[in-house]
Chain A
Amino acid sequence: MFTEFFQAVTEYTFMQYALLTGILAGIACGIVGTYVVARRITYIAGGIAHAVLGGMGIAFYISVVYDLEKLHPLYGAIIAALAAAVTIGLVSLRAREREDTVIGAIWAVGMAVGILFIARTPGYNENLMSYLFGNILMVSAADLWLIGALDIIVVFIALFFYNQLQAVCFDEEFSRIRGVNVEFFYLLLLCLVALTVVLLVTVVGVVMVIALLTLPAAVAGLFSRTLRQNMILAVIFSVVFTTFGLMISYSPNLPAGATIIIIAGITYLLVMVGKGRLSAR
């Protein structure tokens, strides 16, 4: 079963691109996902992820109707994700008690906008499905450049400000007294989450992003003492999950995104049960 996969990897560039996408996205995913899990902002990440569909839908509509081929849906995704991140961030900094309502609204309205625009886009299109559930096998060379650039930006910022982000995630009040601009770093973290979400949308689609963002970091968290270890392990787990997902889904022609998520979910469950057993003894 896997020989067929390895053969495909050597023969077809689309398989090579798919593997490379999984690895690149996995690096950002492990690092930023660790912040998300440690800071417990999974729900915020979910809101950003779903709002992305709005941006993709609008960009897709404009590119078809006004014949702008250069306008890649991923640009729309980046703008929507950053806008959602900043909105949620400002609301949660200014008016803490209404945060969840705003996240829920952005979550659903973003999706609704995306669905409307895709529906009104003339011509036959299967894009809605690939935006929702990912289409890693359709990644082109141009996509890959964009993904690589995003990856470098996210990883550089996330590691360059590691000490500040760690301090702000752990103890906001103390960090503020130390002269760390807490509001800035919180918004920066949400923007990093937004860009990572865009990266992951190409792999597993809007709906399943949240699982790929959090599960590798959560599994890694069970074996880590520090944020640093958590990040390294989470990167390894994300890359392993996406690569195995591609391997297993190839021969039976299963949807790659869904397969990746199932593998991540099963691993998380097994590790949790295994750990629970050990500590119960």
Chain B
Amino acid sequence: MAEKNSIIVFENLSFSYGGPPVLEDVNLTIGEREFACVVGPNGGGKTTLVKLALGLLKPIAGSIRLFGKPPAEVRSRVGYMPQHVHLDPKFPVSVMDVVLMGRLGNGHSFGPYRQQDKLAAWTALREVGLFDSRNRPFADLSGGQQRRLFIARAVACEPELLLLDEPTANLDPKVEQELYQVLSELNQRMAVVVVSHDMAFVSQFVKRVICVKRGVHIHPTSEIRDGTLSEVFGTDLRMVRHDKHAGE
């Protein structure tokens, strides 16, 4: 089942936080150069799926392989962008300093950053179009720039897989579109998996949609029509969308 070039393989995986199962009998393979979007209702298990892939959570049944190995051993090969609701927006740190954090763990243990770390950080900043802002304080960035910065930080890890948890939450559609453009360019070099609450602007870039609600359903983007998602999620999806608009 696990093909030679698969990056993530979930086999018959189930998970619960001690209560009812959050994920049940999930089978999923992500291959090289894939651009996949994980969608699903709130509480449907999207972030849980990501944390399992990184080895931050342990499944109660089934197995996960990341690059063919147990995830905890190889998670440094993943460029990860967490949901950043917990970050302090006033933290005194420059754009460059944040990107350099992506270099921690790339054979870098302590002491100052090396020249090659700085070069990798510059390259990553150029790719997301923030190179000219590298000396600005983090607190001065707009929401969209912050997301691009976190993508740059994940890219600075020189990863084989980019794993982004809700990169477009609370962004306006135009900025969201630009962000997906950046990801689509990065997809030339690495697999990209995006967790998203919203399908509206995704499908022109994304190759596969992974729907998560306890179970996992996979759709090539070409198959997605207006009705598909509501068929899968029923009222749940409409509820999520309704909440989103009500909150804005």
A275 within 8 A of B: no
A225 touches B94 (CB 8 A): yes
A178 within 8 A of B: yes
Q: Which residues of A contact B215 (CB under 8 A)?
A: none
B102 within 8 A of A: yes
Nearest residue (CB) in B for A174 is B82
Nearest residue (CB) in A for B54 is A177
A170 touches B105 (CB 8 A): no
Distance from A134 Cβ to chain B, minimum over Cβ atoms (Å): 29
Cβ contact of A226, chosen from B76, B108, B137, cutoff 8 A: B137
Given contacts A163-B113, A171-B101, contact A38 B76 (CB under 8 A): no
Given contacts A164-B110, A226-B92, 12 further A-B contacts (CB under 8 A): A38-B92, A160-B111, A163-B113, A164-B104, A167-B101, A169-B91, A170-B88, A170-B93, A172-B86, A174-B80, A174-B81, A177-B78
Question: What are 8 A-B pairs at a CB distance below 8 A?
Answer: A163-B104, A163-B111, A170-B93, A173-B82, A177-B82, A178-B104, A179-B75, A179-B104
B157 within 8 A of A: yes
Distance from A240 Cβ to chain B, minimum over Cβ atoms (Å): 20
B153 touches A174 (CB 8 A): yes
- From B84, B101, B108, B136, residue with most partner A Cβ within 10 Å: B101
Q: Which residues of B contact A169 (CB under 8 A)?
A: 91
Q: Which residues of B contact A178 (CB under 8 A)?
A: 76, 101-102, 104-105, 157
A226 touches B97 (CB 8 A): yes
Cα A180 to Cα B75 in complex, Å, equals: 12
A224 within 8 A of B: yes
Across chains A and B, which 9 residue pairs bring their CB atoms closest together, nearest first? A179-B105, A178-B105, A225-B137, A173-B82, A178-B104, A167-B101, A177-B80, A226-B94, A230-B92
Cβ contact of A171, chosen from B87, B135, B137, cutoff 8 A: B87
B98 within 8 A of A: yes
Interface residues of B in 73-124 (CB under 8 A from A): 75-76, 78, 80-82, 84, 86-88, 91-94, 97-98, 100-102, 104-105, 108, 110-113
Residues of chain B having any CB pair with chain A under 8 Å: 54, 56, 75-76, 78, 80-82, 84, 86-88, 91-94, 97-98, 100-102, 104-105, 108, 110-113, 135-137, 153, 157
Distance from B130 Cβ to chain A, minimum over Cβ atoms (Å): 15
Nearest residue (CB) in B for A225 is B137
Cα A225 to Cα B95 in complex, Å, equals: 10
Interface residues of A in 7-60 (CB under 8 A from B): 34, 38, 40
B93 touches A226 (CB 8 A): yes
A221 within 8 A of B: yes
Cβ contact of A170, chosen from B56, B101, B108, B135, cutoff 8 A: B101
Given contacts A163-B100, A163-B110, A164-B104, contact A40 B88 (CB under 8 A): yes
Nearest residue (CB) in A for B55 is A177
Cα A178 to Cα B100 in complex, Å, equals: 12
Distance from B68 Cβ to chain A, minimum over Cβ atoms (Å): 19
Q: Which residues of A contact B110 (CB under 8 A)?
A: 160-161, 163-164
Q: Which residues of B contact A173 (CB under 8 A)?
A: 82, 86
Distance from B247 Cβ to chain A, minimum over Cβ atoms (Å): 24
Cα A180 to Cα B102 in complex, Å, equals: 11
Cβ contact of A163, chosen from B81, B91, B112, cutoff 8 A: B112
Contact pattern, A 133-174, Cβ under 8 Å of B = 1, otherwise 0: 000000000000000000000000000110110110111111
Cα A224 to Cα B135 in complex, Å, equals: 12
Distance from A185 Cβ to chain B, minimum over Cβ atoms (Å): 10
Q: Which residues of A contact B105 (CB under 8 A)?
A: 178-180
A175 within 8 A of B: yes
Cα A177 to Cα B163 in complex, Å, equals: 11
B84 touches A171 (CB 8 A): yes
Nearest residue (CB) in B for A37 is B92
Distance from A189 Cβ to chain B, minimum over Cβ atoms (Å): 14
Cα A254 to Cα B93 in complex, Å, equals: 39
Cβ contact of A174, chosen from B94, B101, B112, B137, cutoff 8 A: B101
Q: Which residues of B contact A164 (CB under 8 A)?
A: 104, 110
Q: Which residues of B contact A40 (CB under 8 A)?
A: 88
B101 touches A179 (CB 8 A): no
Cα A128 to Cα B98 in complex, Å, equals: 46
Q: Which residues of B contact A172 (CB under 8 A)?
A: 86
A227 within 8 A of B: yes
Cα A174 to Cα B149 in complex, Å, equals: 13
Interface residues of A in 52-82 (CB under 8 A from B): none
